Structure 1
């Protein structure tokens, strides 16, 4: 499960980190410490020749869906069943993306209730979640470009908080994932594994993150 994450790295950092050649205008770039489902998220897509940075709505709407509301239930896609699920099968082969982030949140069940944790790379560098995207057209002609974050089993660091985690790709794997010509699911499946636990930092944060209305740098501050 991944239901909340952050993106506060600068526009210039993202452009350089993901080798972006075509992008939204810098004035349209959004920084957030509490990104929630149904919001617009920054994503990288390769059009066959270059990496493009744009926005997708978080919550996958299959092209065949009758109503856009289905997207509210499809924020994540399990890596183990991508090749089987009707909703994701086509996108897995043809419409993959990187969803840009620099931390995400998970909640641990404890006696005092659910406690939020921030999970990021020890290097504090931004990274890309493996994602899928789709375009949906309503009967009235409205077009929505949406996405889902792929999840896998948690690594040792994250498993102390939750049994699932988003797939974070290594830099070396990103080109393969974004390559629209690569459609061999056996190769793609090998990319969808837990990130190296030794490179991750996991720590408790304020319960203020529970509400998407709260959005400030203090949400990622370590407590306790």
Structure 2
């Protein structure tokens, strides 16, 4: 699963995301976990838009957030996304891109786990493939934008850090606009973009173990700062 990632505002200055006009005052979010907010890029009409959304897809028919949290829907497997009821409509008609600096994975025995930042070698931001669903609370009538990250089999690098050998579907920049194209609306045309991103373009390095703390959640650029020490005990 992908359940932690960093999303700073640096993507708004990247040429690969120049097709979308960034909103003003975008804040850095270096430690995003599931059920928290992140920015997503979507194309609901003719124009690309940026929206704040919760990292946990809530299908339109769910009666409450409590009911939604009974099922793990912050990730969607590319292998089954077209078959599962929660994801069938979004994958065909409501796709998004999640700008990202790095994803975080942990390795090691329980109680002695070490988190790693996994990102592009050039430290450029990248886009994860996602789906979104705007959920309307049947009681309050308030709406909430939500999303899930699509996952696939891990490449050689991610396989070293993810116990279940999974990773996000990372889109090639040349496919960003194609991924959001409403005309791409069949299983065959969408599935061809579910590529395993080349491991040789990525790096992994250890970061602060404070990233694993729930009581005092680590924030800011420190989340991405490399930590170097003897890792023999956890490798």
Q: Same fold (TM over 0.5)?
A: yes
**Residue aligning to 1:56:** 53
Q: Distance in 2 between matches of 1:88 and 1:101?
A: 22
Deviation at 1:10, TM superposition (A): 3.2
Q: Is this contact kept in 2: 1:167–1:194, CA < 8 A?
A: yes
Shift of 1:31: 0.5
> How big is each residue's C-alpha offset from its partner over 1:169-198, in whole Å with a ceiling of 9 and x where there is no partner?
001111221012211111211211221111
Q: 1:61·1:70 contact (CA, 8 Å) conserved in 2?
A: no
Contact 2:99-2:126 at 8 Å conserved across structures: yes
d(CA) in 2 for partners of 1:172, 1:12:
17
Q: 160-169 vs 185-194, which deviates more?
A: 185-194
Runs of 5+ in structure 2 lacking a partner? 229-235
Matches of 2:207 and 2:12 in 1, distance apart? 27
Structure 1 residues 71 and 121: CA distance shift in structure 2, 3 A: farther
SS at match of 1:44: strand
Question: Is 1:167–2:164 an aligned residue pair?
Answer: no
| 1:33 CA drift (Å) | 1.3
Distance 1:14 1:138, change over 3 A: farther
On the 8 A contact 2:95/2:130 being kept in 1, the answer is yes
Alignment of 1:125-204 (within 5 A): 125-140=124-139, 141-162=141-162, 163-204=165-206
Q: Shift of the alpha carbon at 1:202?
A: 0.8
Q: Distance in 1 between matches of 2:15 and 2:122?
A: 18
Count of matched residue pairs: 221
Question: Runs of 5+ in structure 1 lacking a partner?
Answer: none
**In the alignment, what sits opposite 2:75?**
76
Per the alignment, residue 19 of structure 1 pairs with 19
Match of 1:93 in 2: 92
For 1:70 and 1:133, locate their aligned partners in 2 and report how far apart those are by CA, in whole Å: 18
Change beyond 3 A, Cα 1:89–1:209: same
What SS does the corresponding residue of 2:179 show, helix, strand or coil? Answer: helix
TM-score (norm 2): 0.87
Q: Is the 2:104–2:118 Cα contact (8 Å) retained in structure 1?
A: yes
**8 A contact 1:48–1:179 mirrored in 2:** no
- Decide whether the 8 Å contact of 1:153 with 1:194 is kept in 2: yes
4+ residue runs over 6 A deviation: none
Q: CA shift at 1:17, angstroms?
A: 2.0
Alignment pair present for 1:33 and 2:30 = yes
More strand by share: 1
CA-atom RMSD in angstroms: 1.9
CA contact (8 A) 1:9 1:102 kept: no
